[in-house]
Structure 1
Amino acid sequence: MSYFSPILILMLVVPMMGAVSKGDGDFAPAEDIGLWTAGTDGEEGQEGDEHDELDSLPIWGSERVGRIPVNVDSFGAVGDGVADDTQAFLAAWETACSIKNAVFLVPERRHYKVNATRLRGPCEGKLLIQVSGTIVAPDEPKDWDPKNPRQWLSFSKLNGVRIQGGGIIDGSGSKWWASSCKINMTNPCRGAPTALTIDSSSGVRVKDLTIQNAQQMHFTISRSDAIRVSGLRVRAPSDSPNTDGIHISESTNVAIQNCHIGTGDDCISIVNASSIIKMKNIVCGPGHGISIGSLGKDNTTAMVTAIVLDTAILTGTTNGLRIKTWQGGSGYVKSVRFENVKMDDVQNPIIIDQFYCDSPTSCKNQTSAVKISQVLYRNISGTSRTPNAMKFACSDTVPCSNIVLNNINLERENGIVETFCNCATGFDYGFVRPAADCLRNDKTSRCDGTKNDNQSQTYDPIHTEL
């Protein structure tokens, strides 16, 4: 690979600093496709809320003018944490969904035991879902509704709905975790319910909720557009398997802001057919970091683009900023920006892994891969638990390209840190520690499917866990 001159670096960097992809080879200004352009001084821009009603909408009780309360207690909910309140919730939902300006009210200081429940729209306008109390799931997997094996509380086909209230959604997941094949390897691997799902919806705002101890994933946003999440708290033990905090799939124009996530898997995971995702002011730990992927499993095609993480703190996580893809996939990940991130004792602070393999057996080598390009890391600092502070493990046949590092300062308390590259090209500017010269001239292979004849060692990928 040719050496980048200082003039060429400036020519490439200036457009990238506030840009997202317009196509395979060029960049478009972020504002052209609705991404927010945030400064590096950490100040909150007007983008992301833009006087968003999410921030101005009062908690139910402070302003009741024009609101019609639909209290689950009025439909027979007991709220003692023992009685099954599922039917009362369904009946209250049917009423609230059919009335304009309704408030679906889950009162505070009560515990409502609810089984798998699908709450469907479309509903009349300006529906407010006020969760002030605690909603708790049955704790016995054997008693779970077989018609809903993968969902607990599911909202679908909603438009312009607000979900808020300061309450708790508790998945009672401990027995689910104990039966997981990742905890007890004699058990067959099977999926478990997601605690809260928003599906096939638009214009939904979620604010000031706690989701804890999910059976599997905590909060999934799927097949949706224009979703805003703020003030969300996710809590689960570090050894709880597959308990992603927020999982985004097949969705566009999603903003996640001011969230604290501690769990046993990815704090935030973004998968196929997702674009224009903005994350800001995220606290992550414990967990597996903030991830794009995994993508491309079972030779599938994946497309993820226009992703921004601005301002985050990751503490004690197994990964920091991660992009993970399976061999054999196709498609692309491009136009990604990670900036203003602080790491504290993170095992793999910056990692791209195109050899991801979450399987009890070895994954076979395949030539096709999800293409990864146009990834910018800027203002990343902190401590690494391992020597590999930065690792770009990319495909020999579908290399990573346009990886850019700016103002990186990663250290290790006792020992050196280094950057590892396989078939990854790009450049760095400003202060960068550890040095990333391997991005400028990767000599580990010719990156066309054949090894460099002058290279005596071959690359043996180290797979990361889910």
Structure 2
Amino acid sequence: MVCIQIEGTIVAPNEPTNWDPKNPRIWLAFYNISKVLFHGNGVIDGSGSKWWAASCKKNKTNPCKGAPAALTIDLSSSIRVNGLTIQNSPQMNFVIGRSDSVRVTDVKVSCPGDSPNTDGIHITESTNVVLQNCKIGTGDDCISIVNASSGIKMKNIYCGPGHGISIGSLGKNNSTGIVENIVVDNAFLRGTTNGLRIKTWQGGSGYVRSVRYQDVRMDNVSNPIIIDQFYCDSPKSCQNQTSAVEISQIMYRNITGTSRSQRAMKFACSDTVPCTHIVLNNIILQSIDGTVETYCNSAAGFGYGYIQPSAECLSSSQKDIIQEKEADILTTTRTEHIIHTEL
């Protein structure tokens, strides 16, 4: 294995006009590499403050345009990243794209909570990825997983500030999104705008399935558990459409903490492509001030053990319950190998 050691601080140019307009999304990028270890106590600093100020999300009069990611690994396999700090990226901090067998351990990602589009670790078109012992604070999703990704395992993750741990968005512009075999095992989220989120646009196709969230604690999180098939990150209202990315076999086990919003659990699913096989086990979500509730629209599943707030709005017939218990076993079988697999 080739070792690349990073020490000290690597600092990006802080003036957006200094960047090559032909490659506006790239800073430190590695392509077509295999069996490489990135390690050390070094810091990768994207100097993103001027980019953030020019973002259309900061000021709607600004044009919306892409900005560099601090670190990108693409079209690669058998990669290890250990011990690095990535901070202040103009947009996404660390992108893993079109890669297989990637293990990221003891990595820290840091951006201000109001920095736009600064996803901490973004995974796209990748398989067999492990994120372990990572601390992420940023202005967008701490971890985002998008199309054509499977076999993703996150263990011992700290998230905050940020928008939580997200699958999606998927299905934008009537596209197909496929994500499956995902595990979040032991995470702590503090002060985030979302907790465990799956977000899809109307009009998409494909599926999200076999996802397990377990042993997750939340402190002062706005939307602790949320599935949103009506996601619309657009200045204009999104058109109602009947097709949707199908969401099924989603398990939440041992989820505890406090919610800033009344709807601690929200399953906002498509009327024509409902969410199915949602399984809840030992959920305790409380309000800092007041009561909390569960919202359901076209969502089927069941809960067992202690469930607070009640999730009786999940619709299931007896036949559905039997099928969902079978799906629970299937989800367990599909994801346990991720928990115990060492890359």
> Does the pair score TM above 0.5?
yes
Q: Within the alignment, does 1:246 sit opposite 2:121 as a pair?
A: yes
Query: 1:148 offset after TM fit, Å?
Result: 1.3
Residue in 2 that maps onto 1:185: 60
Alignment counterpart, residue 195 of structure 2, candidates 309, 320, 333: 320
8 Å CA contact 2:7–2:40 kept in 1: the answer is yes
Residue in 2 that maps onto 1:361: 236
User: Which segment is superposed worse, 147-156 or 222-231?
Assistant: 147-156
Cα shift readout 1:52-104 (whole Å, capped 9, x = no counterpart): xxxxxxxxxxxxxxxxxxxxxxxxxxxxxxxxxxxxxxxxxxxxxxxxxxxxx
C-alpha separation between the residues in 1 aligned to 2:21 and 2:241?
A: 37
Mapping 1:2-151, distance limit 5 Å: 126-151=1-26
Alignment counterpart, residue 132 of structure 2, candidates 257, 282, 294: 257
Q: Within the alignment, does 1:224 sit opposite 2:95 as a pair?
A: no
Residue in 2 that maps onto 1:418: 293
Q: Within the alignment, does 1:343 sit opposite 2:224 as a pair?
A: no
C-alpha separation between the residues in 2 aligned to 1:147 and 1:229?
A: 30
Alignment counterpart, residue 404 of structure 1, candidates 279, 300, 304: 279
8 Å CA contact 2:189–2:217 kept in 1: the answer is yes
Q: Whose RCO is larger (CA < 8 A, sep 6+)?
A: 2
Residue in 2 that maps onto 1:200: 75
Q: Within the alignment, does 1:282 sit opposite 2:186 as a pair?
A: no
Residue in 2 that maps onto 1:64: none
Residue in 1 that maps onto 2:180: 305
Residue in 1 that maps onto 2:166: 291
Cα shift readout 1:306-334 (whole Å, capped 9, x = no counterpart): 00000000000000000000000000000
8 Å CA contact 2:302–2:316 kept in 1: the answer is no
Tell me which protein shows more strand as a share of its residues: 2
Cα shift readout 1:266-317 (whole Å, capped 9, x = no counterpart): 0000000000000000000000000000000000001100000000000000
**Structure 1 residues without counterparts, runs of 5 or longer:** 1-125, 443-466
Alignment counterpart, residue 437 of structure 1, candidates 308, 312, 336: 312
- TM-score normalised to structure 2 length: 0.92
1:348 partner SS: coil
**Structure 2 residues without counterparts, runs of 5 or longer:** 318-343
Query: 1:441 offset after TM fit, Å?
Result: 5.3
Cα shift readout 1:384-442 (whole Å, capped 9, x = no counterpart): 00100000000000000000000000000210000000000000000000000011359
Residue in 1 that maps onto 2:334: none
Cα shift readout 1:163-214 (whole Å, capped 9, x = no counterpart): 0111000000000000000001101101111110000000000000000000
Residue in 1 that maps onto 2:141: 266
Alignment counterpart, residue 248 of structure 2, candidates 373, 376, 400: 373
C-alpha separation between the residues in 2 aligned to 1:221 and 1:167?
A: 19
Sequence identity percentage = 70
C-alpha separation between the residues in 1 aligned to 2:270 and 2:40?
A: 46
C-alpha separation between the residues in 1 aligned to 2:32 and 2:17?
A: 29
User: Which segment is superposed worse, 311-320 or 133-142?
Assistant: 133-142
C-alpha separation between the residues in 2 aligned to 1:168 and 1:358?
A: 32
- The amino acid that maps onto 1:150 is R
C-alpha separation between the residues in 1 aligned to 2:251 and 2:75?
A: 31
